[in-house]
Each structure stands twice: as C-alpha cells, then as structure tokens.
C-alpha cells in the first residue's frame, strides 16, 4: 500500500478548518450560500482544468460560455409566457429565423461556387455581396419581429421544462459554441484561441444584454426555477443545503468519470499527446481532433456549472457577467490548485472562493480604517468613491496572484502526479 498522501490531507484539512471558521463567524445561511457557489465554480473549474491541463488550451472566454449556458437554461426552464405564444408573434419570429436560415444557405452556396468553376477572386466578391444582401434582408424581417415581441409580450419567456433539462441544454449549448470556436482556432497559435475566446465572450454578453426580446436585457429575469425547493419554502439554510447536495452529487459524478477517463486508454493517449506532441503526431494520432474533444467537453462542464451558478443566484442579469468574476477568478483557482489535477482544482476553487468572498468585507474594512487614520493623522479626506476603489484592490490582488503563482509555483499547490503503473 502506498504512503498516505500527506500533502493532500494537510491541505484539505486546513481548508476544512477555514470553512468551519467562515460558518462560525458569518453564520450558517452565509456559509451554505458560499459553499453552493463554490461548488458551482468547482464544476466550472473542472471544465477549465481539463482544457488547460489535459490539452494545453487557453480559454479566456469562460464568461461567455457561462452566460450562454445560463441563458439557455433559463430559456428552457422559465415558465411559459402566454402573452407571447397566444399571439402571432411566434409565427413572425419563425419567419424571421427562416429568413436567417435562407440567407445563411445562400451565403454558403455562394462560397461554394468555385466548384462550378468560378475563379477564386470572383467567388470571394460574390460571397461578400450575397452576404451583405442576405444580411440586410434578414435584418429587415428580424428587427420588426423582435420589436413587436418587446412591445407586445415583453419577451419570449421560457419553455417551462424541468431544471435538470435546462442545465443539460445549457451545457450542450456551451459545448456547441466551444466546437465552433475550437474548429476555427485549434491548430493555430495558442494566443489566437485566447483572443478569439475573449472576443466571443464579449459578443455573447453584448447580445444577451441587448436582445431584450429574448432575455429582457437590463430589465433582468427572476426568479429562476430551482431544482430543489426555494428558500421561501424551506428557509435559507435548508434549501441551500439541498441545492448543495445536488451540485455536490454532480461534482462527485463528474470527478469519478474524469478520473476513470484519465486512467483509461483514451486518457493515456491524451497524456501522450500533451507530453510529447511530435511523437504522438508521428504515430498518426489526430491531435487536433482529440484536443477539440477535450475543448468541447470542458465547455460542456463549464456550461453546466454556469447554469447551476446563475440558477442559484435566481436572477439573470447580463450586465452582471464580468470577466473578472467569471473568467479570471476561475483561472486563478485552476492555476493555484494545480491544473490538470482534478483534486487540486477542487482545492483551489474552494480556497480561492473563500478568500474572494471574505475579501470584500475585508477590503472595505481595511480601507475604512485607512480613511479614518488618514483623517486623524494627516487631515486627509478620502474621495467619495473610496469604497468602490477599495474593491479594485481585489482586482490587483487577483492579478498579482496569477503572476506570482506562474512564476514560483507554476504547477500549483497540488501538482499533477505522474500516473504510476503498478
């Protein structure tokens, strides 16, 4: 029997103490809320860690995948909006979508005319012209339809289906977007994927924020249906604990599946590709296919976690998606915990999240003290927005943590352990 993993035990024990401290000082309701959110981040983190740790992919658009999945989940689970379905608006919207489909088909057809013998330059020109016309035409049908939805029914509402289906659909949507992004950027430099994912996340957010007919935009949607009875029914602690049991179960299932996959022949192949790409390519393994699989799988997990997270907050507000909270924070969790090590990622998520949540009151307290001392000692008056500036300290600290960890502990606190063949 191998020696006890002392490091893991020590670190997790320390973590447990930290959690207990939070419960003791802030109360059970606060503590359960924090743990549920951490568990959702854990699912997201697992998705990110397999992308980075298993396939070396740099996804800087996590926020976009979370937002998309949360929206799809919302659309699937939110109660049906009778005002919308009872009118002729679905028909109009359907027409608009059909117009878009026809336009897309026309553009695709134009892009394939080289098969008919059209020279490349003319084909590009033709495709662009068809694209412009199709775009303007589809837009002219689409805009009035959506405007009418906003006027008449407010928004399209949801489908009223079960929550678990919503989460699955959210994961699938995130996976599909990941497939599209991966197809375009895999095989090019890693930086290109970073830029492209950053871009797509901003576009997804902009779309969700402005498409009032679909998401109510800045008017937000709430309450989002829960998989377990809500706090109104069971009280904060009990309902949150129930939610936690759902997400914890998900984590366990995902964790077990990932561990088994990593130790399977498929996992061996992935490790071979990651550790020695040149030889793996020489052996005929289609590297980019495999990495695309991982990328999609990772985004599915990110989607599920994102859907769970937003569902928990019970409000869908596109403006609330911020790269700091929904991309970079998770990166810190993954890098600090140990990328590619699922256990390490879980550790990193919980640790960083506790520090993150506690840092808000801590920063405000600290800056409040500074303002007081400054006034007492130097007669210095703090600027009016000092409180918001205090929170910017957190941004600085997150950035500093990323650079320090990369510099001094690039494998994280719980580095991936080489698989031993007993």
Partner 1 sequence: MEAGFLASLPAQELVFFINRGLLAGLIIGSVYALGAVGVTLIFGILRFAHFAHGDMMTIGAFVALVCVALFTGGESIAGLPAAFVLMPIAMAVTALAAIGIDRGFYAPLRRAKVRPVVIVMSSIGVMLMMQGLVRLFAGTGTWQLEAGGAKTIYRLPLLGRDVILTQPQALLIGFTALAAIALHFFLTRSRMGKAMRAVSDNPDLARVSGISIDSVVRATWAIAGALAAAAGTLLALDVTLKPDLAFNIILPIFAAAIVGGIGQPYGAMAGGMLVGFTETFAVFNWSVLLRPLQPWLPDFIDIPNRIAFVPTEYKIVVPFFILIAVLIWRPTGIFKGRVVK
* 3-class secondary structure per residue, the chain: CCCCCHHHHHHHHHHHHHHHHHHHHHCHHHHHHHHHHHHHHHHHHHHHHHHHHHHCCCCCCHHHHHHHHHHHHHHHHCCECHHHHCCCHHHHHHHHHHHHHHHHHHHHHHHCHHHHCCCHHHHHHHHHHHHHHHHHHHHHHHHHHHHHHHHHCCCCECCCCCHHHHHHHHHHHHHHHHHHHHHHHECECHHHHHHHHHHHHHHHHHHHHHCHHHHCHHHCECCCCCCCCCHHHHCHHHHHHHHHHHHHHHHHHHHHHHHHHHCCHHHHHHHHHHHCHHHHHHCCCCHHHHHHHHHHHHHHHHHHHHHHHHHHHCCECHHHCCHHHHHHHHHHHHHHHCCCCHHHHHHHHHHHHHHHHHHHHHHHHHHHHHHHHHHHHHCCCCCCCHHHHHHHHHHHHHHHHHHHHHHHCCCCCCCCCCCCCC
Task: Tell me whether residue 55 or residue 174 sits nearer to partner 1 (CB atom).
Answer: 55
Task: Tell me whether residue 196 or residue 310 sits nearer to partner 1 (CB atom).
Answer: 196
Q: Is residue 389 near partner 1 by the rule CB under 8 A?
A: yes
Task: Tell me whether residue 240 or residue 274 sits nearer to partner 1 (CB atom).
Answer: 274
Task: Tell me whether residue 25 or residue 140 sits nearer to partner 1 (CB atom).
Answer: 140
| 76 contact partners, CB below 8 Å, separation of at least 6 | 158, 159, 161, 165, 166, 169, 170
Q: Using an 8 Å Cβ cutoff, are 405 and 397 in contact?
A: no
Q: Is residue 165 near partner 1 by the rule CB under 8 A?
A: no
Stretch near partner 1 under the rule CB under 8 A, chosen from 27-35, 99-107, 192-200, 239-247:
192-200
Which residue among 41, 78, 167, 331 contacts partner 1 (CB under 8 A)? 331
State the minimum distance, in angstroms, from the CB of residue 170 to partner 1. Answer: 23
Task: Tell me whether residue 36 or residue 198 sits nearer to partner 1 (CB atom).
Answer: 198
Residue among 40, 7, 1, 30 at smallest CA distance from 312: 40
Q: Is residue 34 near partner 1 by the rule CB under 8 A?
A: no
Which residue among 51, 185, 215, 345 contacts partner 1 (CB under 8 A)? 185
Residue among 302, 308, 310, 306 at smallest CA distance from 221: 310
State the minimum distance, in angstroms, from the CB of residue 92 to partner 1. Answer: 18
- Binding to partner 1 (CB under 8 A) within 217-276 occurs at none
State the minimum distance, in angstroms, from the CB of residue 355 to partner 1. Answer: 15
Stretch near partner 1 under the rule CB under 8 A, chosen from 149-157, 254-262, 290-298, 395-403:
395-403
Q: Is residue 155 near partner 1 by the rule CB under 8 A?
A: no
Q: Is residue 198 near partner 1 by the rule CB under 8 A?
A: yes
Q: Is residue 281 near partner 1 by the rule CB under 8 A?
A: no
Which residue among 35, 335, 346, 354 contacts partner 1 (CB under 8 A)? 335
Which residue among 324, 366, 409, 419 contacts partner 1 (CB under 8 A)? 324
Task: Tell me whether residue 160 or residue 399 sits nearer to partner 1 (CB atom).
Answer: 399
Task: Tell me whether residue 39 or residue 185 sits nearer to partner 1 (CB atom).
Answer: 185
Q: Is residue 63 near partner 1 by the rule CB under 8 A?
A: no
Which residue among 80, 366, 395, 419 contacts partner 1 (CB under 8 A)? 395
Task: Tell me whether residue 383 or residue 418 sits nearer to partner 1 (CB atom).
Answer: 383
- Binding to partner 1 (CB under 8 A) within 101-140 occurs at 132, 135-136
Q: Is residue 206 near partner 1 by the rule CB under 8 A?
A: yes
The footprint of partner 1 (CB under 8 A) covers 56, 58, 60, 132, 135-136, 184-185, 187-192, 194-196, 198-200, 202-203, 206-207, 209-210, 323-324, 328, 331, 335, 383, 385, 388-389, 392-403, 406-407, 410
């Amino acid at each position: 029997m191998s020696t006890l993993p002392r490091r893991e035990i020590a670190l997790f024990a320390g973590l447990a103490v930290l959690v207990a401290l939070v419960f003791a000082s802030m109360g059970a309701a606060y503590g359960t809320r924090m743990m549920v959110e951490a568990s959702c981040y854990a699912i997201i983190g697992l998705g990110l860690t397999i992308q980075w740790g298993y396939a070396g992919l740099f996804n800087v658009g996590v926020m976009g995948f979370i937002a998309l999945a949360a929206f799809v989940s919302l659309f699937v689970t939110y109660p049906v909006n009778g005002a919308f379905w009872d009118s002729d608006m679905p028909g109009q919207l359907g027409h608009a979508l059909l117009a878009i489909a026809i336009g897309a088909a026309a553009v695709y057809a134009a892009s394939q005319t080289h098969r008919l013998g059209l020279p490349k330059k003319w084909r590009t020109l033709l495709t662009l012209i068809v694209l412009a016309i199709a775009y303007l035409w589809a837009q002219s049908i689409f805009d009035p339809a959506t405007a009418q939805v906003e006027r008449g029914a407010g928004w399209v509402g949801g489908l009223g289906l079960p929550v678990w289906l919503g989460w699955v659909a959210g994961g699938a949507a995130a996976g599909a977007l990941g497939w599209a992004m991966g197809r375009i950027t895999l095989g090019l430099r890693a930086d290109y994927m970073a830029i492209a994912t950053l871009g797509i996340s901003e576009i997804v957010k902009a779309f969700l924020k402005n498409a009032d007919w679909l998401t109510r935009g800045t008017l937000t949607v709430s309450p989002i249906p829960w998989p377990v009875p809500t706090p109104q029914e069971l009280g904060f602690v009990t309902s949150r604990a129930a939610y936690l049991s759902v997400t914890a179960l998900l984590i366990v299932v995902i964790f077990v599946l990932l561990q088994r996959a990593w130790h399977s022949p498929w996992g061996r192949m992935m490790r071979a590709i990651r550790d020695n790409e040149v030889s793996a390519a020489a052996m005929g393994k289609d590297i980019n296919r495999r990495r695309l699989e991982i990328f999609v799988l990772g985004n599915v997990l990110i989607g599920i976690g994102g859907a769970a997270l937003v569902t928990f907050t019970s409000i869908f507000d596109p403006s609330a998606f911020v790269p700091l909270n929904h991309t970079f924070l998770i990166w810190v969790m993954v890098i600090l915990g140990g990328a590619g090590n699922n256990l390490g990622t879980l550790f990193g998520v919980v640790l960083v999240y506790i520090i993150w949540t506690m840092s808000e009151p801590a920063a405000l307290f600290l800056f409040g003290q500074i303002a007081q001392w400054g006034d007492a000692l130097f007669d210095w008056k703090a600027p009016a927005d000092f409180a918001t500036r205090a929170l910017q300290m957190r941004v600085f600290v997150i950035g500093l943590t990323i650079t320090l960890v990369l510099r001094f502990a690039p494998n994280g606190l719980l580095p991936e352990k080489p698989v031993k063949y007993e």
